[in-house]
Structure 1
Amino acid sequence: MKPLLFALLALTLFISCSKGKEKEPTIQKEISVDFVAKNNKEITDYIAKNNLKTIKSDSGLYYVITDPGTGKQPTATSNVTVAYKGYFTNGTVFDQSGPEGISFGLDQVIKGWTEGIPYLKTGGSAILLVPAQLGYGNNSMGPIPGGSVLIFDVKLISVN
């Protein structure tokens, strides 16, 4: 009788643990949805406070073309050299390049850059206001907490 009772208890614990794991993805989705609404409000408040005239793409990227440039225009898979400064809506800088910029493939960076930098031609510059779903999502990355809105001043130096 005791082995049967032990087997039923073990089965009950196994089933209850399995059921708890099935709910985790739903919780993550709810957190992501919360960031979308929070990020959108944070970005629109920043735009109003700084009197920016932005364009919003279908993906949720907000951007301001400060100088469209006149040279070659990259695609989402181009290798480019970009000078940039990255900061939060409170003005705290989390990263920046030197004036010579850095080179990388646009298919190897956050989605906000993959989408936003091809709006420019060589010599052009823009402000990219990147919500978390186009940045690092719910994940923290170095000094950037998960769910953060990222703002970048970018200048496209060259399409390599």
Structure 2
Amino acid sequence: MKYLLSALVTLTLFISCTKAEENNEPIDYTTKNDKEISDYIAKNKLTAQKSDTGLYYVINDPGTGTQPTATSNVTVAYKGYFTNGSIFDQSSSAGISFGLNQVIKGWTEGIPHFKAGGSGILLIPAHLGYGNYYYNGIPGGSVLIFDVKLISVN
């Protein structure tokens, strides 16, 4: 009986694969990510704005220096973590420099909300991050949160 139940559960799981999984199509995490981000914002009592693309951002300090564009080279200090608080990456306080056209879409769109010297939080749904793909310890479909400080526009 135990084996029969186990076989039925396995068969049910196998049959219940979504059409996207069966056809190797990407899974749309938009609704799930939006709820996860909204819950995180409420739990942490943040005042966030949402862009048309689904990026949420919190401006703690808008900064007073130069405002970057989506193609600017910038230096940013950051800490990246999941909604459960687990850190997956962070820079030193000196930050790192890169072109905003060389990073995930959430950064390309989000960093220009700040001027040099500004800081805040980017809450990035999977479609503006790494999508459905596993990347350096980040599971596909993950919401990414970054505390960012825009040190300079280079």
Deviations 1:83-120 (A, max 9, x none): 00000000000000000000000000000000000010
Which residue does the alignment assign to 1:62? 56
Aligned counterpart for 2:92 among listed residues 86, 91, 98: 98
- State which structure, 1 or 2, has the greater radius of gyration over its C-alpha atoms: 1
Deviations 1:2-61 (A, max 9, x none): xxxxxxxxxxxxxxxxxxxxx72xx524x12xx111101100010110011100000000
Letter of the 1:28 counterpart: E
RMSD: 1.0
Query: CA–CA distance in 1 between the matches of 2:134 and 2:104?
Result: 13
Aligned counterpart for 1:115 among listed residues 109, 116, 122: 109
Letter of the 2:82 counterpart: F
1:28 equivalent to 2:25? Answer yes
Q: CA shift at 1:159, angstroms?
A: 0.4
Which residue does the alignment assign to 2:118? 124
Q: CA shift at 1:155, angstroms?
A: 0.3
Query: CA–CA distance in 2 between the matches of 1:28 and 1:96?
Result: 32
Deviations 1:62-83 (A, max 9, x none): 0000000000000000000000
Which residue does the alignment assign to 2:45? 51
Query: CA–CA distance in 1 between the matches of 2:126 and 2:153?
Result: 26
Q: Structure 2: which 5+ residue stretches go unaligned?
A: 1-21
Q: CA shift at 1:143, angstroms?
A: 1.2
1:154 equivalent to 2:144? Answer no
**Per residue, is there more helix in 1 or in 2?**
1
Scaled by the length of structure 2, the TM-score of the pair is 0.84
Q: Structure 1: which 5+ residue stretches go unaligned?
A: 1-22
> Identity over aligned residues, as a percent?
74
- The alignment covers a number of residue pairs equal to 133
Scaled by the length of structure 1, the TM-score of the pair is 0.81
1:137 equivalent to 2:121? Answer no
Letter of the 1:85 counterpart: K
Q: CA shift at 1:145, angstroms?
A: 0.4
